[in-house]
Amino acid sequence: MISILELRHIIECGFLPLSCTCTVNPDGSLMIKVFEPSSGRVDLLVTAVTTENLTSSRAIANLIGELRAEMAACPAMLHEGDGAVRGLTEPSQR
Protein backbone atom coordinates (compact mmCIF):
# COMPACT_ATOMS: atom_id res chain seq x y z
CA MET A 1 0.00 0.00 0.00
CA ILE A 2 1.17 3.52 -0.80
CA SER A 3 1.46 5.94 2.11
CA ILE A 4 -0.68 9.08 2.02
CA LEU A 5 2.46 11.25 1.86
CA GLU A 6 3.76 9.37 -1.15
CA LEU A 7 0.32 9.44 -2.79
CA ARG A 8 0.11 13.21 -2.32
CA HIS A 9 3.61 13.69 -3.77
CA ILE A 10 2.84 11.56 -6.85
CA ILE A 11 -0.41 13.44 -7.53
CA GLU A 12 1.23 16.85 -7.04
CA CYS A 13 4.07 15.96 -9.43
CA GLY A 14 1.57 14.64 -11.96
CA PHE A 15 0.36 18.13 -12.82
CA LEU A 16 3.70 19.80 -13.51
CA PRO A 17 4.37 22.43 -14.89
CA LEU A 18 1.20 23.63 -13.13
CA SER A 19 1.24 23.74 -9.35
CA CYS A 20 -0.84 21.28 -7.37
CA THR A 21 -1.64 20.99 -3.70
CA CYS A 22 -3.10 17.81 -2.38
CA THR A 23 -4.41 17.93 1.18
CA VAL A 24 -6.03 15.30 3.37
CA ASN A 25 -9.57 16.04 4.55
CA PRO A 26 -10.69 14.98 8.06
CA ASP A 27 -12.53 11.99 6.55
CA GLY A 28 -9.34 10.74 4.85
CA SER A 29 -10.31 11.84 1.35
CA LEU A 30 -8.11 14.21 -0.65
CA MET A 31 -8.69 17.74 -1.87
CA ILE A 32 -6.78 18.37 -5.09
CA LYS A 33 -6.20 21.94 -6.24
CA VAL A 34 -4.39 22.61 -9.51
CA PHE A 35 -3.40 26.18 -10.28
CA GLU A 36 -1.20 28.37 -12.43
CA PRO A 37 1.83 29.21 -10.25
CA SER A 38 2.50 32.72 -11.55
CA SER A 39 -1.07 34.04 -11.48
CA GLY A 40 -2.63 31.79 -8.85
CA ARG A 41 -5.56 31.06 -11.18
CA VAL A 42 -7.26 27.84 -10.07
CA ASP A 43 -7.73 25.42 -12.98
CA LEU A 44 -9.22 22.54 -11.01
CA LEU A 45 -10.53 21.97 -7.51
CA VAL A 46 -11.80 18.55 -6.48
CA THR A 47 -12.83 18.43 -2.84
CA ALA A 48 -13.35 14.78 -1.91
CA VAL A 49 -11.28 12.18 -3.75
CA THR A 50 -11.42 8.85 -1.96
CA THR A 51 -8.12 7.01 -1.70
CA GLU A 52 -9.32 3.44 -1.22
CA ASN A 53 -8.84 2.53 -4.90
CA LEU A 54 -5.57 4.43 -5.34
CA THR A 55 -3.42 1.44 -4.43
CA SER A 56 -1.30 1.10 -7.57
CA SER A 57 0.69 3.36 -9.84
CA ARG A 58 -1.76 2.57 -12.64
CA ALA A 59 -4.77 3.70 -10.58
CA ILE A 60 -3.00 6.94 -9.62
CA ALA A 61 -1.94 7.58 -13.22
CA ASN A 62 -5.52 6.97 -14.38
CA LEU A 63 -6.83 9.49 -11.85
CA ILE A 64 -4.29 12.12 -12.93
CA GLY A 65 -5.08 11.46 -16.59
CA GLU A 66 -8.82 11.80 -16.00
CA LEU A 67 -8.36 15.05 -14.10
CA ARG A 68 -6.04 16.44 -16.80
CA ALA A 69 -8.61 15.50 -19.46
CA GLU A 70 -11.34 17.24 -17.46
CA MET A 71 -9.16 20.35 -17.18
CA ALA A 72 -8.62 20.36 -20.95
CA ALA A 73 -12.33 19.91 -21.64
CA CYS A 74 -13.52 22.56 -19.17
CA PRO A 75 -10.82 25.20 -18.68
CA ALA A 76 -10.90 27.21 -15.43
CA MET A 77 -13.91 25.34 -14.06
CA LEU A 78 -14.03 24.57 -10.36
CA HIS A 79 -15.35 21.19 -9.28
CA GLU A 80 -16.71 21.12 -5.77
CA GLY A 81 -19.29 19.32 -3.70
CA ASP A 82 -19.36 15.55 -3.49
CA GLY A 83 -15.90 15.18 -4.98
CA ALA A 84 -17.12 13.79 -8.26
CA VAL A 85 -15.69 15.54 -11.27
CA ARG A 86 -18.33 15.95 -13.93
CA GLY A 87 -17.60 14.14 -17.16
CA LEU A 88 -15.47 11.33 -15.79
CA THR A 89 -16.60 7.84 -16.61
CA GLU A 90 -15.34 5.96 -13.55
CA PRO A 91 -16.22 7.90 -10.38
CA SER A 92 -15.64 4.78 -8.31
CA GLN A 93 -11.87 5.32 -8.68
CA ARG A 94 -12.00 8.55 -6.69
Residue ranges per structural domain of the chain:
4-85
Question: What is the pLDDT at residue 84?
Answer: 43
Q: What is the mean pLDDT of the chain?
A: 82
- For 30, the 3-state DSSP assignment is strand
**Tens-place pLDDT, residues 4-15:** 999 999 999 999
Long-range contacts of 2-10 (CB under 8 A, 24+ apart): 2/54, 2/55, 2/60, 4/51, 7/51, 7/54, 7/60, 10/57, 10/60
Q: Give me the half-sphere count of Cα atoms (radius 13 Å) on the Cβ side of residue 55.
A: 3
For 23, residues 6+ apart whose C-beta sits below 8 A from its C-beta are 8, 30, 31, 33
**Tens-place pLDDT, residues 31-65:** 999 999 999 889 999 999 999 999 999 999 999 99
- Answering whether pTM is above 0.85, one says no
Break the chain down into helix, strand, coil percent, rounded to 5.
30, 20, 45
Separation CA 9–CA 84 (nearest Å): 21
